[in-house]
Structure 1
Amino acid sequence: MDLRFTFNEDVLNYDKMRPTYVKELYENIIQFSNLDSNKNALEIGIGTGQATLPFLNTGCNLTAVELGEDMAKFSKEKFAKFHNFDVINSDFESANLKKDDYDLIYSATAFHWIPQEVGYTKIFNLLKSGGVMALFWNHVSRTDAELDFAMQEVYNKYKSTNESSIHKFSEEKCLEIAETIKKYGFVDVGYKLYYQTRFFDAPKYMSLLNTNSDHRARPEETRILIENELSNVINNFGGKIEIKDTIDLYLARKP
């Protein structure tokens, strides 16, 4: 099963529950790329547009590439008032895009689905000289150690061969990604970290869980069992769960 298509199965829940990103992240990218109404930008894997509006508000000409047909339609309607916006329903690898045309190419928690030798090379070719690549990911952790342990016991009970393709966060991994980016010819490479905290009750956390490709790939009867047991665990710990988002941003420039 191609896990990329699971995001297309429940667009409204995805749009409601997936996290947005902190204001400072957008400000850093826009400042680094000098993005304005005279520039062209490309978003890889728009989903339902959690990371799109701040860039559209600069007035830039923004094209988005989205594999999921329903998500592409949703995002096109969501930002229909912007005449500087268009969506291409395609995977990034085969999308027909103009070389040396973009001032900014960015991707929000989506670039890990693309083989790096294909993704980095294509981005480099699509960027103008001096153009900027911005890649960022959101990593979720539960702040209550006892609650986290109890929830992990549920997951261990229903072990699956499906594993997330997103990299696990660590400072060492950040350095590794930055070094990899340099190998593809980019300069001015660096990374920054951002943090935010969110709170959920059991039903809302289950809605969030259902935006996770690994969870959606499980058989329905298994998903129901997991969700029931996780809900019981959360309710036994007071009915609330606090999660911490760690967001790693990588900025780089084409010479």
Structure 2
Amino acid sequence: MSEQDLRATFDAVASQYADVRPGYPDELFDELVAVTGIGPDSELLEIGPGTGQATVPLAARGFAITAVELGGAMARLARKNLAAYPRAHVVQAPVEDADLPLHAFDLVYAATSLHWVPEAVRSRRPHDLLRQGGHLAAIYSEHVSDESGDAFFLASQEIYRTATEQPHPRADAHGGSPDDEPRLPRVSDLRPEHLDPDLFEPVGFRVFPIVIRYSAERFAGLVDTFSTTRALPPQARAERLVGLRRLIDHDFGGHLDLRFAMTLTVARAR
């Protein structure tokens, strides 16, 4: 399955995506506002809002937001979630093709989505949309080591090896590593998103660790939203999810405390 096909897989599980994907802490948005200096008159553009996990918190602060979403089901659910915020609206289109005004935005941001923009325009497209001196922010949700052996991660690797394709970078937060000895990154391993240095000057990077408890069923639902899981043939996908539920129920007491680190990279347009 091509990269373009993979990024379209989320639309089939839009409601599930909204329910099981980890949200972003308020402190991250506090930092984003402080570093970029955006205010009441600022215009924001979001790349790939999904169902609005990073849109609603900023819309609730009163910002004007244009959110550009590829998937139709995702866009409809995002509009529903943003109904109470008249200054936020959703455009359904790939951001690289969307009819957007150039040099019109003070902040372009992407939450767990910038890597899906074609590499050739991943820095150039946001730069073209930003006003001079505007900012680009890349937010990611990373599954990180529990610093205690990562027992579940290691125990689940054989289940993930049923995959028939290598994972897209960042697309599958659990398992599927092509390395001989897969491991989870530590918080200290995380680094800023790479952006074209000819177009952007780095101005900030912070990490926000959180812990979320998942039941076996809810964790399987989370994994079912990963693009590499959605890309599997139906039987292989079902076997993966059944295997994970069984492992958690039988060997891990029916639940997992998952460590995530939300990263925020901010850069200023040159």
TM-score calculated relative to the size of structure 2:
0.86
Cα distance 1:207–1:159, how it changes in 2: closer, same or farther (>3 A)?
closer
For residue 108 of structure 1, what is the aligned residue in structure 2? 111
Indicate the residue corresponding to 1:183 in structure 2: 197
Structure 1 residue 218 and structure 2 residue 232: aligned?
yes
Which amino acid counterpart does residue 245 of structure 1 have in structure 2?
F
Tell me whether 45-54 or 31-40 shows the greater mean CA deviation. 31-40
Residue aligning to 2:71? 68
Corresponding pairs, count: 251
Find out whether 1:78 has 2:81 as its counterpart: yes
Kindly tell me: are residues 112 and 98 of structure 1, through their superposed partners in 2, closer, same or farther at Cα, counting changes over 3 Å?
Answer: same
Helix, strand or coil for the counterpart of 1:14?
Answer: helix
Query: Paired residue for 1:251?
Result: 266
> Kindly tell me: are residues 181 and 142 of structure 1, through their superposed partners in 2, closer, same or farther at Cα, counting changes over 3 Å?
closer
- Cα distance in 2 for partners of 1:253, 1:54 equals 22
Q: What is the Cα deviation at residue 32 of structure 1?
A: 1.6
Q: Given the superposition, is the C-alpha separation of residues 69 and 244 from structure 1 closer, same or farther in structure 2, using an over 3 Å criterion?
A: same
Contact 1:142–1:241 (CA<8 Å) still a contact in 2?
no
5+ unaligned residues in a row in structure 2: which ranges?
172-183
Counterpart secondary structure, 1:46: coil
Cα distance, 1:163–1:184 mapped onto 2, change above 3 Å: same
- 1:239 corresponds to 2:254: yes
Is this contact kept in 1: 2:35–2:204, CA < 8 A?
no
**Structure 1: 5+ residue runs without aligned partners?**
none
Match for 2:27: what amino acid? E
Q: Contact conserved, 2:69 with 2:92, CA < 8 A, in 1? A: yes
Residues 1:21 and 2:24 are matched in the alignment: yes
Calculate the TM-score normalised by the size of structure 1. Answer: 0.91
In the TM superposition, residue 64 of structure 1 has moved relative to its aligned partner by 0.4
Instruction: List structure 1 segments (4+ residues) > 6 angstroms apart after TM superposition.
Output: none
Is the contact between residue 20 and residue 50 of structure 1 (CA under 8 Å) also seen in structure 2?
yes
In angstroms, what is the RMSD of aligned CA positions? 2.0
Deviations 1:198-219 (A, max 9, x none): 1111111111111111111111
Query: Whole-Å Cα distance in 1 between the matches of residues 32 and 144 of structure 2?
Result: 25
Amino acid at match of 1:243: L
What's the counterpart of residue 36 of structure 2?
A: 33
Which amino acid is the alignment partner of residue 164 of structure 2? Answer: S
Q: Percent identity?
A: 29
